[in-house]
Amino acid sequence: MAYKGVYSSEDFKKVSARNSANRVHYPKELAHRTGSKPFRQVIWKDLGENKGMKPKLVDIFHSTRKKGTSLPNVETAKKLDEIRETMKKDPSLSDVQIAQKVFNSKSRDRVVGFGGGMKVADLRGQRPSREELEAELILLRNRTKFLKIEWRQYKMKTTNLRVV
């Protein structure tokens, strides 16, 4: 089928209409400017994650929305300032929590501000392996046994004391 056939098919028109309706809800001023380059690639190559550097939300937001070296409009600059202010107010917040606060994200699986392909699980980092979890469980069980023994010894000492 030629390209004309694809674009004029009913299925394509339905998908296109749905996508257009979905895009209406997002402010055009905050649209990213990376084109088809995935955010993950921007984070990896441009912001130095491949060199062990961990970019913050502020860096990712700026890099994906800048036009040349500056931001294209006032609304984008205000949103960047809001991200910075949120980070200053509570430095203990993770990038995910900051994005959810600033962008009023109610989604649990996608992170607004990091691009369509980023999931919360991608930002939380690698999960421990089963072996690591089992080793930690064994350590905690041993610690619990030790604390139970100490507690029994303490109870025995205190029950033998007489109040004078």
pLDDT in tens, 8-65: 888 888 988 888 887 777 766 667 777 777 777 877 777 877 788 888 888 888 888 8
pLDDT of residue 65: 84
Judge if 95 and 133 occupy the same domain.
no
* Residue 152 pLDDT > 70: yes
Judge if 146 and 159 occupy the same domain.
yes
By percentage, how much of the chain surpasses pLDDT 70?
Answer: 80
Judge if 141 and 119 occupy the same domain.
no
Judge if 74 and 28 occupy the same domain.
yes
Rounding to the nearest 10 degrees, give the CA dihedral for residues 59, 82, 120, 130: 80
Judge if 7 and 35 occupy the same domain.
yes
Higher pLDDT, 100 or 134: 134
Judge if 70 and 93 occupy the same domain.
yes
Label residue 1 by pLDDT band (50, 70, 90).
Answer: very low
Judge if 43 and 114 occupy the same domain.
yes
Judge if 61 and 100 occupy the same domain.
yes
Average pLDDT, the chain: 79
Judge if 57 and 26 occupy the same domain.
yes
Judge if 33 and 107 occupy the same domain.
yes
* Residue 115 pLDDT > 90: no
Cut 0.85: pTM above it: no
Count how many domains the chain has.
2
* Residue 135 pLDDT > 90: yes
Residues 39/118, Cβ–Cβ less than 8 Å: yes
DSSP codes, 29-70: GG----TTS-HHHIIIIIS-GGGT----HHHHHHHHH-BTTB
| Interval 72-79 mean pLDDT | 86
Higher pLDDT, 113 or 88: 88
Domain containing 144: what range?
A: 128-164
Judge if 114 and 134 occupy the same domain.
no
